[in-house]
Each structure stands twice: as structure tokens, then as C-alpha cells.
Amino acid sequence: MHRTASTGSSFAHGAAGQIEIQLDIPDVVRGIALVCHPHPLFGGANTNKVVTTLARAFKELGYVVLRPNFRGVGKSEGQHDLGKGETEDMLTVLDWARARWGEGLPLVLGGFSFGAYVQTRVAARLVAAGAPPRHLVLVGMAAGMTGEMPEGGSRRYETPAVAGHIPTLIIHGEADETVPLGNVFDWARPQKLPVIVVPGADHFFHGRLALIRDLVGRNVV
């Protein structure tokens, strides 16, 4: 465990330029949590309420939380890259965090919507490198055919399966209007992964954020 008193924001340098990172740091750091925000073309940023809810939950568990802004958001440089460049950037952020807090700390990955999709890609890369995360938390995950995009048309997400038998918490709203619940079931079913369905919740979990925080607290170690 590492004691620290710092907080605020910082920057890592990625392939497309600087990556802005918001830090949420507990008094005693027992692990690292990376939390990814929803689609930047829809205004997604590291200040999103689901993202900050996940951050608070992880911080309460003793994890230093990294909330990067994806390319083109806030002070992060570059342009949206459909999850490919964003995956590379998140791996860069993790390298930056390990250099600051230590290689041996346990890692948790969390993401909301497009951010959850990116985290499945990050997890696969970490497993391939022999350094799997301790836990994966996917909220309102983008999978299959989703709603209209700003540039027109729909988008299909080929979300990778969870590699390496990582303990995975999947939370989805029953009334999600952006990513139909059936999409997530279709993705989870062949993997035999359970899905926690929040009755009546929309994509942004209005009025249900406290439940997300509670679920993380009860399921992540």
C-alpha cells in the first residue's frame, strides 16, 4: 500500500498527443482503477455522472482512480478513432500510473457505454501480455447495433469476449434506449456471464446511480 495526499489532474503522452487524466486518490492506495467515459461524439467526458459514480465507488475501496478524457475531449489531443487509438491511449495511461504508484498494485477496469467497449479491448491486451486486471466493471456497455450516430446511420460494436476468466460485473438498464438489453444478453450468453439488470433504468441510469455505487462496493475486491 502507498500513502499519498495528492489529487487533481495530470497528463500522459500518447500517440496522438497529450492525454488529460483526472485523478481521484484515497488516503491509502491499495490498487489502480481505470475508468473510461461514454462516446465523445455524443459529448461523453470524464465528468459524466456514471463515470464519477464509478470513480467514487472505486476510491472508497482504496483504488487510485484514473479518469482519462478520450482523444479530442477536454485537453486531450487527437481525434476520435473508433476505439482503436483509444485502446492504445488507455494502455499508455496504465503504464504512466504504474510508473507513479508501482507495478505490483492490483488493477480494476471500469467503463460506461463506449468506455466499457474500450475496456473489453484493454482487458484483452492485458491478458495477452500476462497482466490481467483483477476485475472488470461494464455499465451500459456498447455491444451489437446501437442507436443513431452524430455523423448519420447506426454503429455496430464487435465487442470482444472477456479474456482470461476475469471476474466481470455487468450492469445494464432494462429500458436502455441506446444499447438494447438484448444486445448485451447476446454478447454475454455464449460466455455464460451474468448480467445485472436494473428495472426501469435508462442508458444513463437517471435516479439509479446510488445502486451502481452499491453494486460495485459489494462485488469488487
CATH number of the domain residue 203 falls in: 3.40.50.1820
pTM of the model: 0.94
pLDDT, averaged across the chain: 94
Return the pLDDT at 6. Answer: 54
Taking residue 82's Cβ as centre, other Cβ atoms within 10 Å add up to 10
- Give CA angle at 108 (93, 28), nearest 5°: 85
d(CA 111, CA 154): 21
Q: In whole angstroms, give the CA distance from residue 42 to residue 74.
A: 13
Domain that holds residue 59: 2-219
If one counts the domains in the chain, the total is 1
Convert the pLDDT of each residue in 151-165 to its tens digit. 545 688 999 999 889
Residue 5: pLDDT band with limits 50, 70, 90 = very low
